[in-house]
Structure 1
Amino acid sequence: MLERNYWKNTKKKNRYKNFGPVIASVKINGFRGVNTEISFDYPITALSGFNGSGKSTVGQLMLCAYRKMPTSKNSKRFYVKDFFPVSNLDPEPFTSTAKIEFFYETDKPSTKQELTVTRSKKEWSGYKRQPERNVEYLGFTVYIPKIEQRDLSIYLASSLSVSEKDRVEVENGAMYASRILGSSYEDIYFQGVKARSRSAELGVASRFGAKYSENNMGFGEGRVVYTIRLLESCPAQSLIVLEEPETSLHESAQYEFIKYLMDVVNRRGHQIIFSTHSSIMMDALPPEGRKLLIRGKEGVDVFDSVTSTRVKTALSCGEGGHAIICVEDEFAQSFLREILRRYDINVLESVEIIPFGDAKAVLSAHRVLAKAGQKSIAVRDADQGEDLAQHLLALPGSLPPEKEVFCSKASKDKLNELYGFSADTFLSSHPDIDHHEYFPKIAGKLSCSREVLETDCIRAFLDSVGSIWSQKLCENIKKAIV
């Protein structure tokens, strides 16, 4: 599994070595109203946003970032004109000054290769200086069931013949399909077939003792099989652009599909960019891989680490007249609720506290909501600092809230009293555990509800520190919502 730190700033020196000349960032100006800058902070980038926000436009322009590798016989090179055709119906899909500025990683971590693609009269220029890289586009038509295509394997089924020579294995394909789809596959391969003078290729799967071709596969199943084959067989360090890969996949399959993508980029050095409306897929990625696109009059704003689904949830809560308080995670949500309950129940009832992820996601969500005209307050962990004028507040104390609560004497005593559990023994036997895992891990050991466990400890902690400890935060929240 790909670790979050693998792509972060501390590992910049390894990016080119592990992933080649990947796109580090891009500036887009003048395409379908999209004017924006995007940094690619993780090998997999999910572009989320409401319909018409520019997700497909960004993905299509990324496909135009490379020259074709001379050794890639079956790959295609993409040009801007492929995606932005000019016609009588669409005379100006881009402005006269439209351009894309690409910034690529190089073997010198502090130096980026810069390249601009612009239009001179009728032709686009700037392609010649592009680095070489294999590029693959998995749009909505990457897999259309043969039954819908009326493929030769359907209308010439009676005269279909099979050639063993044309059998193409997908290494570990059955294992990957099993993980994603939640069903046990024994084998997956592609088989060459002929009918009269025509030839084609069919995916074949074996499971539960039955063998069947894609003529009898569902859309989601067939699309996963084709996607696995492409990502495993295309040249290493390819750029892959996908359009809404969640299509026809159930929620568990969406989550497992992202885990598979994280595995394949780690093994093969791909860079993957995909558009999505799936909160499951967005949440399966670390915050560095999430980008929310919001279209405005001046172009498209990009917000890091946050998902459109959570923003939509917040906006719907705000429609009821509630102020939105953005926090990092569910523990901070429970912690702040209990703090406000003790301070003033009227304040608690006038807000909605919503978790968005890490500190960067909280800040992005706060800015999105403010841009939408929603009354929003960001409450981050104690180490993030405050800006009262911008409604950026911090939890009291000096530690992340999980540590502040769990490591307190009051919490330890409560765990021992109610559950016979020694927090000190737990900490000494798990010296490297992430503080976010304290309560989930203990709840698993004690076979009890995590939420109840957290509430017991939070209440014991707040009883011990008294109301003065959180009074300043509560007063600042009250001022912000009045």
Structure 2
Amino acid sequence: MGNTRISTTISPLTSDWNTDRHSDKGWPQFLDSVTISGLRGWTGETVEFRFPVTAIAGENGAGKSTVLKAAAAAYRAPSKFSDMRTFYPDDFFPNTPWERVEKVNLLYQFHLGVSIGTLNLRKPSRRWRGMPERVGRPVFFLDISRIQPIDTLIGYGKIAKQSTFRGDETEFSDTDRNMLARIMNKSYTAGKMAKYEQKQIGILSTAEGEYSNFHQGAGEDATTDLVTLLRAAPRNSLVIIDEIESSLHPRAQRRLMAELFSIARSQRIQFILSTHSPYVLEQLPTEARVYIQLERRGTRDVIYGVTPDFAMSLMDDVDHAELTVYCEDREAAVVIDALISNERPDLRRRISITPVGPASTVKTLGQLSHEGKLPGKSIGVLDGDQELVTGCVKLPGRSAPEREVLENSDEDYWDAVAQRLGVRTGDLLDAVEDARRLENHHAWSRRVAENLGPRVRTDRVWEDAVSVWAQRVVDIGDRTEFVKDIFTHLDG
């Protein structure tokens, strides 16, 4: 259910973003980036928002919430919305008996239609400067306090003890109720939000009866509040949500992301999220994933396009391998594994191969590893068609792995692959020839598998073809040199 919903929402959103972007038809108001200096250890690092729904991951203390709070202060409430809140830096970064906030600089870049603007909020000593220059835009911020049980919040106990309730109640529309039902995978007959003395209480009804926040689970409670917020958010708003996945199980997380994609497209709303969840990250396109790596010296590196697996590996203390090898995708990982297994099988268990995203991400990680900024030993492995950079090595050949392996004309090679797959060589060659007509070489293995029938998996096509290639086709000297480079980093 979740995957089907996502497939119908993320593609249209991506299409609109690539086509219209910052035009009047697209996102005429968009926060492009924030640069933070002098605040909670930030020293001028920039975080860019490259997609209408962007998620920021990182360990606790890396600075995710600081980015979200800085983003919330980028705009003022438009004058036409008299009851809408304007967020100020002091709301998030106040002076306390233990901290004095000064010498802070927040630099923003944003789009107003096709025009690019900048804003500098600064606090050299006692007062923030630059507030009058802020552009008007509706901003909504949901922090982690939304998942606290309602009966623990100050003032709500009084409401719970009342025998009668006197407050304003707003019924959920069918659209809102259906959205909540899709996320929670639960049927609701009604829903409403009650307000009493500036406090909100969500009330839901199912076939079993009516119940309030006081008797809802944390995930249902938090999602009800989110649906209420989304209903109030005007077109072109900025919506910021801390730990979007909190209290939701994986399927509900995926369904929630699908709803955000749909709303981002229909209402041209920009979402900035923080997360620790691989299920959230895997729903997003590459450009929408940001990882903040906190170094031992307290400085930060902002990494774009990380894979969910890589993000989780950085946030997990469990480390069994002696060397982590970063590569672009699973196809490259299979090639690396086959080359090492053929050359030095005794050492294969000492390394971990992790796909991390596009070549730019591999290069960034290779450089960070070379500078000693990543935990443990690691190295980047680039495809053969990439330019070599510090901290990386290249796969044998001069092309992408799919082209190196599948653009092969040797009949003995294809006989061996066909034997492994349990198919006739002629059928395999026909399937490969058809696949190579596709412009996107990343789709070749899948097309070969489709042509060979349901008994042959895509993964198996690639693994068997690579295994034979690494054993029989690749130049032995190139294979030896590649594996030697890998283990030089392991033993060096």
TM-score (norm 2): 0.82
Count the aligned residue pairs: 467
Task: Tell me if structure 2 keeps the 8 A contact 1:291–1:304.
Answer: yes
Measured at CA, do residues 131 and 256 of structure 1 come closer, stay the same or move farther in structure 2, by a change above 3 Å?
Answer: same
Of residues 251-260 and 208-217 in structure 1, the stretch that sits farther from structure 2 once superposed is 208-217
Aligned residue for 2:6? none
Q: Match for 1:375 among 377, 380, 385?
A: 377
Aligned residue for 2:292? 293
Could you list the runs of 5+ residues in structure 2 that have no partner in the other structure?
1-8
1:144 Cα shift?
4.3
Q: Match for 1:190 among 186, 189, 192?
A: 192
Task: Tell me if structure 1 keeps the 8 A contact 2:204–2:210.
Answer: yes
Q: Does 1:117 align with 2:121?
A: yes
Task: Determine the C-alpha separation between the residues in 2 that align with 1:307 and 1:397.
Answer: 25
Q: Match for 2:94 among 75, 79, 85?
A: 85
1:117 Cα shift?
0.9
1:448 Cα shift?
5.2
Q: Does 1:177 align with 2:180?
A: yes
Q: Does 1:135 align with 2:144?
A: no
Task: Determine the C-alpha separation between the residues in 1 that align with 2:224 and 2:57.
Answer: 24
Q: In structure 2, what residue type is equivalent to 1:43?
A: P
Q: Match for 1:455 among 432, 446, 463?
A: 463
1:303 Cα shift?
1.6
Task: Determine the C-alpha separation between the residues in 2 that align with 1:349 and 1:448.
Answer: 28
Q: Does 1:313 align with 2:313?
A: yes
Task: Determine the C-alpha separation between the residues in 2 that align with 1:422 and 1:55.
Answer: 49
Of residues 364-373 and 66-75 in structure 1, the stretch that sits farther from structure 2 once superposed is 364-373
Alignment of 1:337-352 (within 5 A): 337-352=337-352
Q: In structure 2, what residue type is equivalent to 1:129?
A: E
Task: Determine the C-alpha separation between the residues in 2 that align with 1:314 and 1:145.
Answer: 31
Measured at CA, do residues 316 and 72 of structure 1 come closer, stay the same or move farther in structure 2, by a change above 3 Å?
Answer: closer
- 1:4-51 residue CA offsets vs partner (Å, 9 max, x unmatched): 85587x658645652223111222110122222122112222222222
- 1:167-226 residue CA offsets vs partner (Å, 9 max, x unmatched): 432453344334433x232445315478xxx79654344556655443432110121122
Task: Tell me if structure 2 keeps the 8 A contact 1:317–1:324.
Answer: no
1:280 Cα shift?
2.2
- 1:371-398 residue CA offsets vs partner (Å, 9 max, x unmatched): 13633221122222213xx232222334
Alignment of 1:263-412 (within 5 A): 263-296=262-295, 297=297, 299-306=299-306, 310=310, 313=313, 322-369=322-369, 370-372=372-374, 374-387=376-389, 390-408=390-408
SS in 2 for 1:160: coil
Measured at CA, do residues 427 and 141 of structure 1 come closer, stay the same or move farther in structure 2, by a change above 3 Å?
Answer: farther
Q: Does 1:18 align with 2:26?
A: yes
Aligned residue for 2:259? 260
Q: Match for 1:159 among 142, 161, 164?
A: 164
1:326 Cα shift?
0.6
Task: Tell me if structure 1 keeps the 8 A contact 2:307–2:357.
Answer: no
- 1:269-319 residue CA offsets vs partner (Å, 9 max, x unmatched): 112112222222223222211222233446432122226863563697996
Task: Tell me if structure 1 keeps the 8 A contact 2:436–2:444.
Answer: no
Task: Determine the C-alpha separation between the residues in 2 that align with 1:27 and 1:86.
Answer: 21
Aligned residue for 2:482? 473
Task: Determine the C-alpha separation between the residues in 1 that align with 2:175 and 2:423.
Answer: 45
- 1:63-92 residue CA offsets vs partner (Å, 9 max, x unmatched): 1100111222442101111112213222x2
Q: Does 1:126 align with 2:130?
A: yes
SS in 2 for 1:363: helix
Aligned residue for 1:251? 250
Q: In structure 2, what residue type is equivalent to 1:123?
A: R
Q: Does 1:100 align with 2:106?
A: yes
Q: Does 1:65 align with 2:68?
A: no
Measured at CA, do residues 299 and 481 of structure 1 come closer, stay the same or move farther in structure 2, by a change above 3 Å?
Answer: closer
Measured at CA, do residues 335 and 30 of structure 1 come closer, stay the same or move farther in structure 2, by a change above 3 Å?
Answer: same
Could you list the runs of 5+ residues in structure 1 that have no partner in the other structure?
none
Q: Percent identity between the aligned chains?
A: 22
Task: Tell me if structure 2 keeps the 8 A contact 1:366–1:377.
Answer: yes
Q: In structure 2, what residue type is equivalent to 1:126?
A: G
Task: Tell me if structure 1 keeps the 8 A contact 2:107–2:121.
Answer: yes
Aligned residue for 1:40? 49
- 1:324-383 residue CA offsets vs partner (Å, 9 max, x unmatched): 211122222122111111122244344221221222332333344441363322112222
Task: Determine the C-alpha separation between the residues in 1 that align with 2:133 and 2:467.
Answer: 62
TM-score (norm 1): 0.84
Task: Tell me if structure 1 keeps the 8 A contact 2:21–2:27.
Answer: no
Q: In structure 2, what residue type is equivalent to 1:361?
A: T
Task: Tell me if structure 2 keeps the 8 A contact 1:382–1:397.
Answer: yes
Task: Determine the C-alpha separation between the residues in 2 that align with 1:253 and 1:12.
Answer: 30
